[in-house]
Amino acid sequence: GKGMNQSVALAKAGVDVYHGGMIGEDGQPFLDACKEFGVHAEYIRQIDTKSGHAIIQIDKNAQNSILLYGGANQQLTSEYIDTVLADFGAEDILLLQNEVNMLPYIVDKAYEKGMQIALNPSPFNEKLDAVDMKKISIFLLNEVEGNQLTGLTEPNEILDKLRELYPHAKVVLTLGKDGAVYADKAQKHFQP
């Protein structure tokens, strides 16, 4: 899923990546991909269920319409999360997306450890209401998710509102074929 895509992309860019999460009995391809791309997989647990998966359709407005089956992704426990996070600290970045359960717990525990927390709030749903977004260090989102977080539609307005709401966070707002914008409290940079 999105988490694996992010891990592989970071590993290809030369980052030392440790992927955590649950996979089902059908999850061997995930472990194979980790090995192929150099993603550390020792925190991935295989459990007796099916792996989570999504069917992504494009709606009539060319936006993603995602059907999500949580499966093993939704089987995280506080004990498992504590075990994984025990090996990481303030010098580490935790990259999350909203395809797993216990997201508020994960954010709170990583924040207590002083970790930087990067969040891709996708798929966007009511579960995110329970996450303390003030603990997020980096938001990675598209225009639709930016709208869902701020109620605004114009990219500059979305960025300004996010910087107002979360002044200590960095934001990467993707704009589809139009590129992306990085912003923090002091600056904005457009990448075509």
CA of 106: how far to CAs of 48, 117, 151, 178, in Å? 23, 10, 26, 33
Instruction: pLDDT tens for the chain, 192 residues: list them.
Output: 788 999 999 999 999 999 999 999 999 999 999 999 999 999 999 999 998 887 888 888 777 777 778 888 889 999 999 999 999 999 999 999 998 999 999 999 999 999 999 999 988 999 999 999 999 999 999 999 999 999 999 999 999 999 999 999 999 999 999 999 999 999 999 999
- Tell me what pLDDT residue 67 has: 77
Length of the chain: 192
E runs forming strands in 72-150: 93-97, 116-120, 138-142
Q: Are 54 and 79 in contact (CB under 8 A)?
A: no
CA of 184: how far to CAs of 30, 55, 79, 114, 187, in Å? 34, 33, 34, 19, 6
Torsion of CA 102, 103, 104, 105, to 10 degrees: 50
Residue type, 153: T
- Tell me what pLDDT residue 59 has: 80
E runs forming strands in 10-160: 18-23, 40-46, 53-58, 64-69, 93-97, 116-120, 138-142
Q: Which residues pair with 88 in a beta bridge?
A: none
Report residue 189: phi and psi, to 5°: -135, 125
- Tell me what pLDDT residue 35 has: 97
- Tell me what pLDDT residue 70 has: 83
How is residue 171 written in tokens? 């934001």
Q: Distance between CA 6 and CA 17 in Å, rounded?
A: 10
- Tell me what pLDDT residue 69 has: 81
Q: Distance between CA 45 and CA 25 in Å, rounded?
A: 10
